[in-house]
Structure 1
């Protein structure tokens, strides 16, 4: 992620005047990231029990749901970095800050509510909800800034999600035999 976060804001700033090319560059970068991260995360989620068992041993298997939730939150967080970079390149950093504050409020509120019931897993769920909130706020802001339809953005996730579903189904069949 480090290289992307250094290059994309500069690229987005240079493309401000060419709205169509800016949107295409943004969608391409987001699509590539989704294609890399979503199927990889599905592999980690499906085999998380095996991964935890191999790395930490049987005593840590109770951490599998926490690991899975954090993977989901991390994927959403990675996708929101690109959206945030584009928003910042448009010179409206205060809107990016507002979306981060909204996500933080969701994180804290749900953590306070869920921690007493579910412990650390409740905090992980709160983190994932906060990241989803951040991404949704950012997409709303972006749709206003560059006149982009929500569905136009979210459709880039369809193929990576389809690949992930296929992988999960194939894994289930293989594990069933």
Structure 2
């Protein structure tokens, strides 16, 4: 958090906000602008790459599940351009597998949607894990375990639904239906 406050002294650090939900993107973008960021917005990975060009943003807030390429692709590209960029991943489909993959690719924090500007600001200030975070003692439900396993296999296959369905022994359409459902929070 201290680093963000230091950046706020300099005129408007750049923040890239990428989310396919245009209304959410506009609202969050406005709130972050009011907090002193120069916000660049995009609604998919291709638009984000065009907006960024060869100059990576100091901060990025990236949705994982968008039409076209996954936000994981963008995380990797931004991190390669500037390993010091602070990247927060937002997703409506919080999954252990995708969180781990996002962190491996260079994200500094992971938030489930809907996250407000204060939560995003706090997450942007983190550069390492939090040992004080509460550990849940209750095991996951079978439905949640299934969701996590599907996400893990999908991530291992680079988002390829056909290959994931084959490996899981599911029909492709069945897998697509399962992916469209929100994960169980149990």
TM-score range for the pair, normalised by the shorter chain length: under 0.3
Q: Kindly name which structure, 1 or 2, has the bigger radius of gyration based on alpha carbons.
A: 1
Q: Greater relative contact order (Cα 8 A, min sep 6): structure 1 or 2?
A: 1
Q: Which has the higher helix share?
A: 1
Give the strand-richer structure, 1 or 2. Answer: 2
